[in-house]
Chains A and B, each alone.
Chain A
Amino acid sequence: MTNPLVPHQPVVVANPWETLRRFTAARIALGRAGGSLPTAPHLAFQLAHAQARDAVQLPLDQAGVASDLQTRGYQTVCLHSAAPDRATYLQRPDLGRRLAEPSRETLAALATHAAAPPELAFVIGDGLSARAIHENAVAFLDQIAPRLRAAGWHLGPVSLVAQARVAIGDEIGQVLGAAIVVILIGERPGLSSPDSLGAYLTYGPRIGVTDAQRNCISNIRAAGLSHEAAAHKLAYLLDEARRRKLSGVLLKDEAGTRLPLSAD
């Protein structure tokens, strides 16, 4: 029987170096239950992983995003990659880089009816996080739109693509005859970043372009690079790409952007 006069030993051993947490976001000084992870940090980890997993599995709300864009006056087209579902998409990156045949026909018909090929076409693809699109894509476009108008860009339709990898922008740009394509895509979710958007710019998009010919702006999200700062960077890159007729490593150094590992 427990003696009520003897205080209970704490069941979790706390670490006296918790103050070091201010130097790193790493999960240090978590304490221990025996030698194991105490319940609170264990569940905090499970939540972070659950949010990242949910972001990967969440379907892209094409109708909702299209409606938001149409309200703002954008011509939109809803497309699908050659990966029929999420499981296939995750195992066959090659299929996520190409349009499904019906989508290709839809886009080709749209291009045929256009008065002139666009200078710039935006593509919005779910990538590995539809949540990143839902939370960032339209807000980001709202930031960059005035800059594009001021610089006199002739925009093509905005393509909304489900089960998309970065390189699907190449085929879309090629079909539309666009000089430059920018794809906004959900990046691979990290434990603390389920909502991170990437923007990839490619001059002269066509099937088979390599990653060395792209520029990337990464980590666009509320807790990362702000929509405004990202729009500023992209507007700069777009102007330079148009002026110098190129993109990729030759623009990279001056713009200070880099290609991370993501939904390529």
Chain B
Amino acid sequence: MPVYRHTIGSTTYRFNGLGDLLAKASPARSGDQLAGIAAVDAAERVAAQMALADLPLTTFLNETVVPYASDDVTRLIIDTHQPAALAPVAHLTVGDFRNWLLGDTADATALAALAPGLTPEMAAAVSKLMRIQDLILVGHKCRVVTAFRNTIGLAGRMATRLQPNHPTDDPTGVAASILDGLLYGSGDAVIGINPASDSTAAVITLLRMLDDIIQSYRIPTQSCVLAHVTTQLEAITQGAPVDLVFQSIAGTQAANAGFGVTLDLLGEARDAALSLKRGTLGDNVMYFETGQGSALSANAHYGVDQQTLEARAYAVARHFKPLLVNTVVGFIGPEYLYNGKQIIRAGLEDHCCGKLLGLPMGCDVCYTNHAEADQDDMDVLLTLLGAAGCNYIMGIPGSDDIMLNYQTTSFHDALYIRQVLGLRPAPEFEAWLHQLGIFDGNNRAAVTSALPEPFVRTLAQLT
């Protein structure tokens, strides 16, 4: 194992291999401390960053952080790497790669062309040398556009996932939250339910309900029920109307095994969803969620820091050409991301690295009640992600997910960020909002005492 060294004054810091160097160079977070791999003090962290800055980018093609022989994510990364795409920056060190990314040469076109040449470890490495403003600027320069029944990720737009969860999957309770969300202009990324039950029958009931709503209101969006991928496959077999197939994924084979998935299973799921041909504008049929700390939580981290492993999950995601990918950044709890500061940085790292690797990144801007975080921290992260050009965020009633017991962004939060930064919904969905009078010509919420006509009947039926 190569040893990396950096000398500051009379102190020489040693780093045993690439994994150790990346871990020590990571900005402080509780998960790396829990794993016992973080820098012991602030000076060692910067020494590691300096050593990392001097490293040639191509080092990551010759030294792996998780063994090639025993990990299919490493094999995927190495075997699908495109050297020609890396060519414009292949001669650079990690430090100079940061400089290149900040320069004008690195425009949207150049960055899109570069993505297949980047490995997750390269993206993670350069992000560890970046300040928040660098993460925002580089993320903002990347443009990743995907499509199914609408177009997500265009410049100047931000979509929302309408997340109408209910603790018992009660269809009327779910429908009430969907109606609330639609009337606040939410739902262009997807209407996606986290089911309380993983039973195929319950999942199919929800899928049929979502399909009915999307068809009867002619909403240019897509649905998803975020059950385990095998349950969704079974639903497809039984003829259920599946738009997007969802799965949580992680950055090592062993961590994915903890989620009950393999790369082959994800490929099978994608093929099944494609076979239904339900997309009208595009065939991005996958939806993935990730989050720093999942590999450590599954005891499958190989001594690699959680942010590098998170970037490796993006290598899994990009192989399946997803419509949506989001980090669920604060969900995992304070033993991985302790406070607002750590959650905010992690969300921006994930967005930037995901975009660099060519993913349509969104973010679940969220926290739990035992984290040192609150709504102010979420407002900061939301606003910074808006500035960074994040593809989508979550939308739930009043920030309170009554099924998953955590807090994420609300329908109102999306209206706020759209107003402040002038961000518009996906174009097809925007046209629908205008047509129904849910948004006015300035994309401001417009529903007052009178409901849009199609919703009048619905409300009458429900009550």
Contacts and interface: CB of A to CB of B under 8 A. Distances in A.
Contacts of B374: 49, 53
Contacts of A45: 375, 398-400
Contact of B445 (A17, A35, A191): A35
Q: How large is the interface on A (under 10, 10 to 19, 20 to 34, 35 or more residues)?
A: 35 or more
Interface string A181-196: 0000000111110000
Contact of A24 (B30, B177, B184, B459): B177
A92 B418 CA distance: 39
Contacts of A26: 164-166, 173, 176-177, 180, 396-398, 400, 402
B277 interface: no
Contact of A28 (B368, B397, B399, B418): B397
A13 interface: yes
Interface in A1-54: 13-17, 19-21, 23-30, 32, 34-37, 41, 45-46, 48-49, 52-53
Nearest to A25: B402
Contacts of B87: none
B415 A35 contact: yes
Contacts of B176: 17, 20-21, 23-24, 26, 28
B407 A35 contact: no
Nearest to B372: A90
Contacts, number: 136
A92 B334 contact: no
B449 A17 contact: no
Contacts of A120: none
Nearest to A31: B412
Interface in B408-431: 410, 412, 415-416, 418-419
Contacts of B34: 91-94
B335 interface: yes
B12 interface: no
Given A13-B448, A92-B34, A20 B375 contact: no
B461 to A, nearest CB: 11
B422 to A, nearest CB: 13
Contacts of A94: 34
B398 A24 contact: no
Most buried by B among A23, A41, A49, A191: A23
Contact of A56 (B369, B398, B415): B369
Contact of A20 (B179, B369, B402, B449): B179
A30 B166 CA distance: 17
B177 A49 contact: no
Contact of B335 (A16, A37, A56, A91): A91
Given A32-B412, A188-B405, A24 B451 contact: no
Given A27-B397, A27-B399, A191-B400, A16 B338 contact: no
B397 A30 contact: yes
Contacts of A93: 34, 335
A91 B177 contact: no
Contacts of B397: 26-28, 30
Interface in B184-206: 184
Given A27-B398, A49-B375, A35 B416 contact: yes
Interface in B164-182: 164-167, 170, 172-177, 179-180
Contacts of B183: 15, 17
A220 B455 CA distance: 39
Contacts of B167: 25
B405 A190 contact: yes
A220 to B, nearest CB: 16
Interface string A86-116: 0000111110000000000000000000000
B33 interface: yes
Q: Most chain-A Cβ atoms within 10 A of its Cβ — which of B33, B398, B400, B402?
A: B398
A66 interface: no
A128 interface: yes
A63 B184 CA distance: 51
B450 A16 contact: yes
Given A49-B374, A56-B370, A90-B334, A41 B170 contact: no
Contacts of B416: 35-36
Contact of A16 (B173, B445, B449): B449
A181 B176 CA distance: 43
Contacts of B405: 188, 190-191
B369 A191 contact: yes
Nearest to B415: A35
Contacts of A53: 369, 374
Given A32-B415, A35-B415, A37-B398, A23 B369 contact: no
B39 to A, nearest CB: 16
A94 to B, nearest CB: 7
B280 interface: no
B11 interface: no
Given A17-B459, A26-B166, A26-B177, A49 B407 contact: yes
Contacts of A17: 176, 179-180, 183, 451, 455, 459
Contacts of B368: 188
Q: Which of B180, B399, B445, B447 has the most CB of A within 10 A?
A: B180
B179 A90 contact: no
A93 to B, nearest CB: 5
Contacts of A48: 400
A46 B179 CA distance: 25
A52 B451 CA distance: 36
Contact of B370 (A37, A41, A188): A188
B419 A35 contact: yes
A25 B174 CA distance: 10
A90 B336 CA distance: 10
B229 to A, nearest CB: 20
Interface string B378-407: 000000000000000000111110100101
B434 interface: no
Nearest to A21: B176
A36 B398 CA distance: 11
Contacts of A13: 445, 448
Contact of B338 (A28, A29, A52, A90): A90
19 contacts: A16-B459, A17-B455, A20-B179, A20-B180, A21-B176, A23-B462, A26-B164, A27-B398, A28-B179, A30-B397, A34-B419, A35-B412, A36-B416, A41-B398, A49-B374, A90-B334, A90-B370, A128-B370, A188-B370
Q: What 3 A-B pairs have minimum CB-CB distances, sorted nearest first?
A: A27-B398, A35-B415, A24-B173
Given A36-B415, A45-B399, A91-B334, 4 more contacts: A15-B183, A20-B180, A20-B463, A52-B369
